[in-house]
Chain A
Amino acid sequence: MSARRHLAGLAVVLAALVIVALFLKRSDVYLLTLWAVYLMATMGLNLTAGYAGQMSLGQAAFFGIGAYIAALLLKASWPFLAVLPVAAIVCFVVGIVVGFPALRVQHHYLAFATLGFNVLAYLAMRNEEAITGGTFGISGIPRPTLFGVDLGGHLAYWYWTLGSLVVLGGLLWWLLRSPWGRAFTALRDNPIRAESLGINITAYTLLAFAIGAACAGIAGVYYASLVEFIEPGPFHFSTSLMMLLAVIVGGSGRFYGPALGTAIVILLPEFLRGSSVPWLKFMQVWYLAFFGIAVIVLMIWLPGGLLSLRERLDRKGGPQ
Chain B
Amino acid sequence: MSDASFLEVRDVRKHYGAIKAVDGVSFAVGPGEIIGVIGPNGSGKTTLFNAILGQIRPTSGSVRFRGDDVTGMSPLELSRRGVGRTFQTLQVFGQLPVRDNLIVAAQEFQGTLPGRLFAAPDAGLGERADEMIELFRLQHVARLPAGRLSYGQQKLIDIAMAFMAKPRLVLLDEPCAGVNPSLVDQLRELLVTLNKTQGGSFVVIEHNMDFIMRLCPHVICMVEGKVLAEGKPADVQANPAVLEAYLGN
Q: Is B239 an interface residue (CB 8 A)?
A: no
CB closest residue in chain A, given B82: A198
- Tell me the smallest distance from the CB of B33 to a CB of chain A, in Å: 21
Task: Give the residues in chain A near B192, CB-CB below 8 Å.
Answer: none
Asked if A58 is at the interface (CB within 8 A of a chain B CB), the reply is: no
Tell whether, in the assembled complex, residue A197 and residue B116 are in contact, meaning their CB atoms are under 8 Å apart: no
A50 CB, nearest partner CB in chain B, Å: 11
Measuring CB to CB, which residues of chain B are less than 8 angstroms from any residue of chain A? Answer: 53, 55, 74-76, 79-80, 84-85, 87, 91-96, 100, 103-110, 113, 116-119, 121, 123, 161, 165
Please provide the chain A residues from 155 to 211 with a CB less than 8 Å away from any CB of chain B in the complex.
175, 177-180, 182-183, 185-186, 188-190, 192-201, 203
Task: Quote the shortest CB–CB distance from B89 to chain A (angstroms).
Answer: 10
With the chains together, A179 CA to B110 CA distance in Å?
Answer: 10
A197-B119 in contact (CB<8A)? no
- CB pair A179–B91 under 8 Å, yes or no, is no
| Cβ contact within 8 Å between B76 and A198 | yes
Q: Are A196 and B75 in contact (CB under 8 A)?
A: yes
Q: Could you tell me if B93 and A189 are in contact, using CB atoms closer than 8 angstroms? A: yes
Contact between A185 and B96 (Cβ–Cβ < 8 Å)? yes
Closest to B97 in A: A182
* Given known contacts A192-B91, A196-B85, A175 and B76 CB-to-CB distance under 8 angstroms: no
Q: B104 near A186 (CB under 8 angstroms)?
A: yes
The smallest C-beta distance from A277 to any residue of chain B, in angstroms, reads 40
Chain B residues within an 8 Å CB radius of A232: none
- Residue from the list A175, A180, A185, A199 in contact with B95, Cβ < 8 A: A185
Nearest 3 Cβ contacts at the A-B interface: A198-B108, A198-B79, A193-B91
Query: B109's contact among A183, A194, A198, by CB below 8 Å, is which?
Result: A198
Are B105 and A197 touching (Cβ within 8 A)?
yes
1/0 per residue, CB under 8 A from B, across A241-282: the answer is: 000000000000100000000000000000000000000000
Tell which of B53, B87, B93, B109 touches A186, judged by Cβ atoms closer than 8 Å: B93
Are A179 and B76 touching (Cβ within 8 A)?
no
Q: Which residue of B lies closest to A182 (CB)?
A: B104
Main secondary structure of the interface of A (DSSP, over half): helix
What residues on A are CB-neighbors of B103 within 8 Å?
Answer: 179, 182
Extra contacts besides A183-B104, A185-B95, A198-B76 (19): CB < 8 Å:
A178-B117, A179-B103, A179-B119, A179-B121, A180-B116, A182-B96, A182-B107, A183-B116, A189-B93, A189-B95, A189-B96, A190-B92, A192-B55, A192-B87, A192-B91, A196-B91, A198-B79, A200-B108, A201-B76
Chain B: CB-nearest residue to A200? B76
With A183-B108, A186-B104 as known contacts, state yes or no: A197 contacts B79, CB within 8 Å: yes
Tell me, in angstroms, the Cα distance from A294 to B241 when the chains sit together.
67
**Across the two chains, which residue of chain B brings its CB closest to A199?**
B108
10 A-B pairs with C-beta separation under 8 A: A178-B117, A179-B123, A185-B95, A192-B75, A196-B87, A197-B79, A197-B165, A198-B80, A198-B165, A200-B76
Candidates B53, B91, B100, B113; contact of A190 at CB < 8 Å:
B91
Q: Chain A contacts of B109 at CB under 8 A?
A: 198
- Give which listed residue, A188, A193, A203, contacts B113 with CB less than 8 A: A203
Whether B116 contacts A178 by the Cβ 8 Å rule is yes
CB <8 Å contact, B53 and A196: yes
Q: Which residues from chain B contact A189 at a C-beta distance below 8 Å?
A: 93-96
Report A199 CB to chain B, min CB distance, Å: 5
Instruction: Find chain A residues with CB under 8 A from B74 CB.
Output: 195
Q: Bound complex: CA of A195 vs CA of B165, how far in Å? A: 14
Which of A177, A180, A203 is most buried by chain B, counting CB atoms within 10 A of its CB?
A180
State the CA gap A180–B53 with chains docked (Å): 25
**Contact between chains at B108 and A182 (CB < 8 Å):** no
Task: Evaluate contact between B76 and A195: CB separation under 8 angstroms.
Answer: yes
- Compute how far the CA of A203 lies from the CA of B80 in the bound complex, rounded to whole angstroms: 15
Alpha-carbon distance A183/B116, docked complex (angstroms) = 10
B161 to chain A, nearest CB (A): 7
Contact of A193 with B87 in the complex, beta carbons under 8 Å: yes
In the bound complex, do residue A197 and residue B100 qualify as a contact, i.e. CB atoms below 8 Å apart?
no
A26 → chain B closest CB, angstroms:
41
Would A197 and B108 count as touching, CB distance under 8 A?
Answer: yes
B121, A196: Cβ atoms under 8 Å? no
Q: Which residues of A contact B108 (CB under 8 A)?
A: 183, 197-200
With both beta carbons as reference points, the residue of chain B lying nearest to A178 in the complex is identified as: B117
B149 to chain A, nearest CB (A): 14
Using Cβ atoms and an 8 Å threshold, which residues of chain B touch A253?
Answer: 95
Least CB distance, A217 to chain B, in whole angstroms: 19
Q: Could you tell me if B161 and A197 are in contact, using CB atoms closer than 8 angstroms?
A: yes
Q: How far apart are the CA atoms of A229 and B117 in the complex, in Å?
A: 37
Query: How far apart are B166's CB and chain A's nearest CB, in angstroms?
Result: 12
Chain A residues with Cβ below 8 Å from B53 are 196
Find A199's partner among B84, B85, B104 (CB 8 Å cutoff): B104
**Contact partners of B87 in chain A: CB under 8 A:** 192-193, 196
Contact with B along A44-66 (1 / 0, CB 8 A): 00000000000000000000000
* Residue contact B119 to A196, C-beta cutoff 8 Å: no
In the assembly, what is the distance between CA of A175 and CA of B96, in Å?
16
With A and B bound together, what is the CA distance between A93 and B148 in angstroms? 39
The residue in chain B whose Cβ has the minimal distance to the Cβ of A183 is B104
